[in-house]
Amino acid sequence: MLVSEREQLRENIEQWVAQYGSDRSALIPVLQEVQRKYHHISEYVMQVVADTLNIHPVEVYGVVSFYSFIGLRPKGRFIIRLCRTISCAMQGNNRIARQLENDLGIHFGETTPDGNFTLEWANCLGMCDRGPAMLVNDRIFTQVTPESVHEILDECRKAFGAHTFQGEETCPL
């Protein structure tokens, strides 16, 4: 990673800390911002966040490893979360799961080699009456069918134009 990129990252973090306040309660919001922009929390990020908030990096690691929406492993630009709980299972979410795995060529918990898609399970998306439900970044899809999986993925792929990812950077680490 270039020194200038490191500086940019540090600047971003300092800016977020200024925005959310410099006490401990800013930790999760800051990490959520980093996750949104860089798709994972690197060791360097944890060190910088710890320094700026004046806490031990281990405390930051403890938080990062606890929550499933923030994590150490780089994730894709589109994070697809399929609901795995009982009412979606009753409505056939396993067919959707198979379709997603086939279409993306990855298993759950993995990211496509091009870094575009991550496939994950989610525990209840609150769409129990209209399952199977699936969350793609911030968009929720209900009553998903194997056919509509195609359409949703196609739509994501089309969105790969530069304008969609303004303000987003590839992670420098």
Report the interface residues with other proteins, using CB under 8 A: 23-29, 31-32, 59, 62-63, 66-70, 81, 85-87, 89-90, 122-131, 135, 138-140
Decide if 137 contacts 155 (C-beta within 8 A).
no
Give the CA distances from residue 101 to residues 82, 109, 153, in Å, rounded to whole numbers and listed in that order: 11, 11, 12
Helix (H, G, I), strand (E, B) or coil at 111: strand
Long-range contacts at 141-149 (CB < 8 A, ≥ 24 apart): 144/96, 145/96, 146/95, 146/96, 146/98, 146/99, 149/96, 149/99, 149/100, 149/103
91 or 99, CB closer to other proteins? 91
> Closest CB to other proteins among 6 and 36?
36
Nearer to other proteins, 29 or 172 (CB): 29
Question: What is the H or E stretch that residue 154 is in?
Answer: helix 146-158
> Taking the complex as a whole, how short is the minimal distance between the CB of residue 138 and other proteins, in angstroms?
4
Q: Which is nearer to other proteins, 116 or 142 (CB)?
A: 142
Q: Judged by CB, which is closer to other proteins: 60, or 104? A: 60
In the complex, the smallest distance separating the C-beta of residue 117 from other proteins, rounded to whole angstroms, is: 18
Q: At what angle do helices 146-158 and 93-104 cross, to 10 degrees?
A: 40
